[in-house]
């Protein structure tokens, strides 16, 4: 089955600094990749997804991610973060027509003033 590793459990950054949250995946077949955000005491909200096509994917709130097949990575980036970006971020992977979505352990992003 496919799997995901999020390389950082916590990422502290200052407001207006750039940030990168790292995600690597493993799968023997072609994958779909996702980033979800979870604000405190809330459910998961989709930030962006890669299904096919352009490897650079833009999402909500100014986030983007790049699919790199050779490095099996799908890192999430934002050029300038805000206090309101403080949340937990989950990378997830699934395959075509497959309901078995696997999640990483999560990265807690803390934006400091």
Partner 1 sequence: NAGVTQTPKFQVLKTGQSMTLQCAQDMNHEYMSWYRQDPGMGLRLIHYSVGAGITDQGEVPNGYNVSRSTTEDFPLRLLSAAPSQTSVYFCASSDPLAGEQFFGPGTRLTVL
What's the longest Cα–Cα distance across the chain? 43
CB of 31 to partner 1, least distance (A): 10
Q: For the chain, percent helix, then strand, then coil, each to nearest 5?
A: 5, 55, 40
Which is nearer to partner 1, 9 or 26 (by Cβ)?
Answer: 9
Closer residue to partner 1, CB minimum distance, 19 or 104: 104
DSSP 13-37: EETT--EEE-EEEE-SS-EEEEEEE
Binding residues (CB under 8 A) for partner 1: these are 4, 6, 9, 32, 34, 36, 42-46, 49, 51, 90, 92, 94, 97-106
Report the nearest approach of partner 1 to the CB of residue 13 (Å): 21
CB of 3 to partner 1, least distance (A): 11
Residue 25 · residue 4 · CB < 8 Å: yes
């Amino acid at each position: 089955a496919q799997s995901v590793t999020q390389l950082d459990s916590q990422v502290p950054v200052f407001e207006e600094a750039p940030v990168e949250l790292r995600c690597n995946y493993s799968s023997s077949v072609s994958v779909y990749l996702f980033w979800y955000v979870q604000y405190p005491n809330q459910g998961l909200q989709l930030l962006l997804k890669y299904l096919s096509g352009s490897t650079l994917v833009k999402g909500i709130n100014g986030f983007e991610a790049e699919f790199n097949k050779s490095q099996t990575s799908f890192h999430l980036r934002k050029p300038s973060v805000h206090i309101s970006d403080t949340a937990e971020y989950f990378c997830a992977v699934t395959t075509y027509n497959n309901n078995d979505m696997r999640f990483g352990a999560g990265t807690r992003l803390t934006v400091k003033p």
